[in-house]
């Protein structure tokens, strides 16, 4: 989960990292902060500055004007419901600090650049010597002396080195205490009067750790923190409902596509494989869908009916990997039942049924009874996809 800037700043401030003075407001009348001020849109995406999500105001009138404008301006499909109004800080220098997990070495890693406030990815590409990093022990964390070692490698010394080391160590504490997967300050500014201030902060918290992070869980539960993101379609929402109607198995993590071939595929890697294969053979999927974990007949029935209810869907392909946990016969029963309840003929609607594995003999018997075309484990996932696509061609 990505925190909004003001939420992240609240946390690092509590942990001893200075941030600019400011306030978060939802309506223009709440604004008490005097000009000159910076106004920053609160949406959970980066690169706000480039798209006009951060504006400077010199007068009271400008503050009000910018506020209204930011509130009405979507940033990559997100709309803010609050704006951060902050003091304007005159900066001497800017730095970049971040801590994340390196998936290759399987260790936390600290990244520093003495050129902050820039597109750090571009900098790392063009001037890799400007970006230094160091792996950390999750048990020792990142003591100030170690942070100073890293910062010194970037050529910083003197009083600034000591200041930066202290801020970095605190950022590491935030990273570990809050189960973050990313803690980043960019830029960390050095003000004209010699103080370090986190001008922007990006915290991503591990969803899997939420049970032990009550403070973060509470933030996530707050309603209307922002609006938008990728819109879930009515079709997708209905699929989620079906999934939540029964705790057994997964059937209904669905994404809608414009094609005509309904897909019941699963799970995880197999659905990716099957979806790619359908497209490679020229098929046009109507949806992406994961099923697995031994869903109940009821769930598969409802899902089948749902996919068939989408306008333009004339056939369904059911393709899964060799299953050992999910039962083939239950999937077959659910698919057939769903089609019958729609008043249609399973032998005409199923383009291909390829679910080999546990209880397959019982499943195949059922499919035979209704004349549904199926294949066993000797037919690969991509061959099954090809057959499905061919059967939908005129």
Partner 1 sequence: MAILADEQTKVLVQGITGREAASFTKDMMEYGTQVVAGVTPGKKGQSVYGVPVFDTVAQAMAYQPADAAIISVPPLMVKEAALESLLNGIKLLVIVTERVPRKDTVELLELARQTGATVIGPNTLGLISPGVVKLGMAGGPVADVKKAYMPGKVGIASRSGGMTTEIANLLTTNGIGQSTCISVGGDPVVGSNFLDLVERFYKDPDTEAVVLFSEPGGVIEEKLAEWVQAEQVSMPIVTFIAGRFVDEMPGMRFGHAATIVEGEKGSTKSKIKVLERAGVKVAHAFSDIVTILRREYEV
Residues 351-370 binding partner 1 (CB under 8 A) are: 356-358
- For residue 322, what are the contacts with CB-CB under 8 A and spacing of at least 6? 356, 357, 377
The single residue among 16, 34, 52, 138 that binds partner 1, judged by CB under 8 A, is 138
Two tokens, residue 334: 């659910």
CA distance 51 to 295: 45
Residues 19-78 binding partner 1 (CB under 8 A) are: 46
The H or E element containing residue 160 is: helix 159-177
175: left (phi over 0), alpha (psi -120 to 50) or beta: alpha
Per-residue interface string for the shown chain with partner 1, residues 222-251, x marking contact by CB under 8 A: --------x---------------------
With binding defined as CB under 8 A, does residue 151 bind partner 1? no
* Residue closer to partner 1 (CB basis): 37 or 352: 352
* Residue closer to partner 1 (CB basis): 54 or 120: 120
Residues 174-213 binding partner 1 (CB under 8 A) are: 176, 179, 181-182, 184, 186, 202, 204, 206, 208-209, 211-212
Q: What are phi and psi of 84, to 5 degrees?
A: -90, 120
Cis peptide before 217 (omega within 30 of 0): no
With binding defined as CB under 8 A, does residue 340 bind partner 1? no
Percentages helix, strand, coil for the chain, rounded to the nearest 5? 40, 25, 35
Residues 257-276 binding partner 1 (CB under 8 A) are: 266-270, 272-273, 275-276
The single residue among 51, 56, 59, 102 that binds partner 1, judged by CB under 8 A, is 102
Residues 319-338 binding partner 1 (CB under 8 A) are: 321-325
CA distance 19 to 189: 10
The H or E element containing residue 273 is: helix 269-280
349 contacts 316 by C-beta, under 8 angstroms: yes
Q: Shortest distance, CB of residue 381 to partner 1, whole angstroms?
A: 5
Residues forming the site for partner 1 (CB under 8 A)? 46, 98-104, 106-109, 111, 120-121, 124-125, 131, 133, 137-139, 176, 179, 181-182, 184, 186, 202, 204, 206, 208-209, 211-212, 230, 266-270, 272-273, 275-277, 279-280, 292, 321-325, 356-358, 377-378, 380-383
């Amino acid at each position: 989960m990505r925190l909004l800037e003001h939420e992240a700043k609240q946390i690092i401030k509590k942990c001893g990292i200075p941030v600019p003075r400011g306030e978060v407001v939802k309506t223009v009348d709440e604004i008490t902060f005097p000009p000159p001020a910076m106004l920053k849109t609160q949406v959970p995406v980066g690169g706000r500055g480039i798209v006009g999500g951060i504006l400077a105001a010199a007068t009271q009138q400008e503050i009000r004007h910018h506020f209204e404008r930011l509130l009405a301006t979507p940033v990559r499909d997100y709309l803010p419901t609050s704006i951060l109004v902050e003091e304007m800080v005159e900066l001497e220098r800017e730095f970049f600090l971040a801590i994340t997990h390196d998936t290759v070495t399987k260790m936390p890693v600290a990244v520093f650049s003495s050129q902050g406030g820039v597109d750090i990815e571009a900098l790392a590409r063009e001037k890799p010597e400007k970006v230094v990093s160091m792996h950390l022990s999750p048990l020792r964390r990142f003591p100030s002396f170690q942070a100073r070692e890293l910062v010194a490698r970037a050529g910083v010394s003197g009083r600034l080195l000591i200041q930066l080391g202290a801020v970095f160590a605190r950022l590491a504490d935030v990273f570990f205490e809050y189960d973050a997967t990313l803690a980043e300050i960019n830029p960390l500014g050095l003000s004209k009067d010699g103080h370090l201030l986190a001008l922007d902060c990006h915290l991503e918290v591990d969803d899997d750790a939420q049970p032990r992070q009550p403070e973060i869980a509470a933030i996530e539960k707050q309603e209307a923190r922002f609006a938008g993101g990728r819109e879930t379609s009515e079709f997708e929402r209905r699929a989620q409902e079906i999934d939540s109607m029964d705790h057994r198995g997964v059937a209904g993590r669905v994404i809608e596509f414009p094609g005509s071939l309904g897909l019941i595929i699963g799970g995880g890697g197999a659905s990716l494989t099957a979806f790619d294969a359908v497209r490679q053979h020229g098929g046009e999927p109507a949806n992406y869908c994961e099923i697995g974990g031994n869903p109940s007949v009821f769930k598969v029935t409802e899902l089948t009916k749902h996919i068939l209810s989408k306008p333009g869907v004339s056939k369904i392909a059911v393709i899964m990997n060799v299953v050992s946990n999910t039962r083939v016969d239950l999937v077959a029963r659910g698919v057939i039942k769903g089609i019958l309840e729609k008043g249609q003929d399973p032998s005409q609607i199923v383009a291909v049924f390829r679910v080999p594995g546990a209880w397959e003999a019982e499943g195949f018997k059922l499919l035979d009874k209704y004349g549904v075309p199926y294949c066993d484990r000797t037919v690969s996932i991509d061959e099954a996809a090809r057959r499905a696509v061919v059967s939908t061609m005129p």
